[in-house]
Amino acid sequence: MEKLRMAIVGPSDSVSLAYAVALERNDILSPQVIVYQDASQVPELMQARCPEFDMWLFSGIVPYHYALSVSTHKPLFYLPHTGSSLYRALLEITYIKNLKLHRISFDTYSQVEVEETFKDISLPLPTIYVKPFSDVASAKEFANHHYELWQAGKIDIAVTCFLATYEKLKELGVPVFRVWTTRSNIRTTLDLAINSCLAQRFKGTQLAIQEIAIDEYDNIVLASSSYNVKRMEMCLYKILIDYAEMLKGSLISRGDGQYTLYSTRGILEDSTNELTIIPILEEISCQVKAAVSGGIGFGVTAYDAEQNAFRALGMAQQKGKGLWMAVTDDREVIGPLSSAVHLKYSVQADAASCKRVADQLNLSVTTVNRLLAVIDKLDKDTFGAEELAAYLTITARSARRILTILLDNGLTEFAGEEMIAKGRPRKLYKIKVQLLLAHFT
């Protein structure tokens, strides 16, 4: 079997350890190291070298979050700094450097994680200051957090997960220790990455069948001349031939305005942006004088894929005209894929534009992209801080900060208040979507 090509991305010291452990799996892995000076370089590195690899492994959560801003179907993973990694740092402090654990600051971890680590190893809990990771945090912010505590005389030791933070604090004279992921954590993550990539490779070779039909074909035949019907069918057939060529598939006309297109799942998902758009819908709408519906089916066998395709077509036609649905091999239903939301808000901005907007708003590239994705997916532009926090998986405080930044830049406006059962009404903000998107042009 062809080996899986893995990119291991991070600062030099972190990736060298991950690379050494990855070589233990050289029976199936072909790892390659990509070193950066700053995590913000990740999107540029990925866009330049994405075709070279089957999957990407990042040294921590910061480069991983930068990677999320890149449009790719390749699996992404990162090495977590779990409790065992923290044990290692505490061991270095107490038994190697012989320092006392009186007052310490931590980043990335939550308060609960730090407290439980001390309980697990039966150490008395010192005075601790914790700054958890969030999308809007950076290595510079973490360095400032630790340094301000040290200058104020509140801590004796800082513990960080970031190389840039570690180097800055050392330069400032702060006693600092770095959390490293353990070999055990690396092996666990590698197993997960290998299994996920193999599963994706298997799914990519699955058969994909599309059942395509002209809606209300019988009524069209009764209302039009046979010549006009033939012209309509020929027009659609030409579009579908080009579509089949794009998918490296084969097309069969079943008669009475019905067609079947055979291809593979991997190529289809690449061509439809992971089943979010159908590239020929606009062309059909402009050139074919009839609504055309489609059903996509996946399956291990041709029979399963065909049955799922007919199920998807039936559901599309039940919902309306000119819609497309998909049914996966595990009967998951996706769609309608012709949703106007995708046409209205699907923005694939290049990395430079994303970074420019993020820098202008003092937000991370990941936050900007995820905000657009939320607007895209939900087809709404009005949020409260708590609601936005839930969708972005960040704290309500961080969500309020994002909304305040957008408000200060004229990209949101107050949209009233939301009455809740208890407590004060929550403020609602309307995001000026078109104005926000204009920043990318």
Instruction: Using DSSP, state whether 337 is helix, strand or coil.
Output: coil
Residues 328 and 250 in one domain: yes
DSSP strands (E only) in 168-280: 176-178, 207-214, 250-255, 258-264
> Of 202, 237, 267, which residue constitutes the final position of a domain?
202
User: Distance between alpha carbon 55 and the CA centroid of its chain, in Å?
Assistant: 14
Supply φ then ψ for residue 293, to 5 degrees: -105, 160
Which residues, listed in sequence order, are joined to residue 6 by a DSSP beta bridge? 31, 55
Strands, sheet with 176-178, edge to edge from the N-terminal-most edge strand = 127-132, 103-108, 157-160, 176-178
Residues 51 and 194 in one domain: yes
| CATH number, position 142 | 3.40.50.10660
Residues 225 and 187 in one domain: no
pLDDT value at residue 378: 62
pLDDT value at residue 354: 67
Instruction: Using DSSP, state whether 321 is helix, strand or coil.
Output: coil
Long-range contacts of 17-25 (CB under 8 A, 24+ apart): 17/180, 17/181, 17/183, 17/186, 18/57, 18/59, 18/79, 18/181, 18/186, 21/183, 21/186, 21/187, 21/190, 22/57, 22/186, 22/190, 24/187, 25/190, 25/194
Long-range contacts of 142-145 (CB under 8 A, 24+ apart): 142/107, 142/108, 143/168, 143/169, 143/172, 145/105, 145/107
Instruction: Using DSSP, state whether 4 is helix, strand or coil.
Output: strand
Tokens of 241: 């031939």
DSSP strands (E only) in 94-227: 103-108, 127-132, 157-160, 176-178, 207-214
Residues 169 and 235 in one domain: no
| CATH number, position 192 | 3.40.50.2300
Residues 215 and 326 in one domain: yes
**Structural domain count, the chain:** 4
pLDDT value at residue 192: 86
Long-range contacts of 44-50 (CB under 8 A, 24+ apart): 44/351, 45/9, 46/70, 46/72, 47/350, 47/351, 49/7, 50/74
Could you tell me the mean pLDDT of each successive run of 10 residues in the chain, 441 residues long? 91 90 94 90 90 92 84 84 82 89 91 88 90 74 94 95 90 93 88 83 80 94 91 94 93 92 89 82 88 91 88 90 88 70 37 71 75 70 79 73 88 76 70 75 59
Residues 73 and 197 in one domain: yes
pLDDT value at residue 3: 92
Domain residues for 412? 345-438
For residue 50, give the DSSP letter. G
Contact 47, 150 (CB under 8 A): no
Cα–Cα distance, 69 to 42 (Å, whole number): 9
pLDDT value at residue 440: 61
Residues 403 and 319 in one domain: no
pLDDT value at residue 24: 95
> Of 338, 358, 383, which residue constitutes the final position of a domain?
338
H or E element in which residue 113 lies: helix 111-120
> Of 299, 316, 338, which residue constitutes the final position of a domain?
338
pLDDT value at residue 341: 34
Residues 25 and 62 in one domain: yes
| CATH number, position 384 | 1.10.10.10
Cβ contacts of 375 within 8 Å, gap of 6 or more = 345, 381, 431, 433
CA distances from 241 to 43, 261, 323, 415 (A): 36, 9, 20, 48
Residues 355 and 432 in one domain: yes
Q: What share of the chain is helix, strand, coil (3-state, %, to 5)?
A: 50, 20, 30
Residues 148 and 264 in one domain: no
End-to-end C-alpha distance for the chain, whole angstroms: 45
| CATH number, position 233 | 3.30.70.270
Residues 149 and 95 in one domain: yes
Residues 285 and 404 in one domain: no
Cβ contacts of 347 within 8 Å, gap of 6 or more = 372, 376, 437, 440
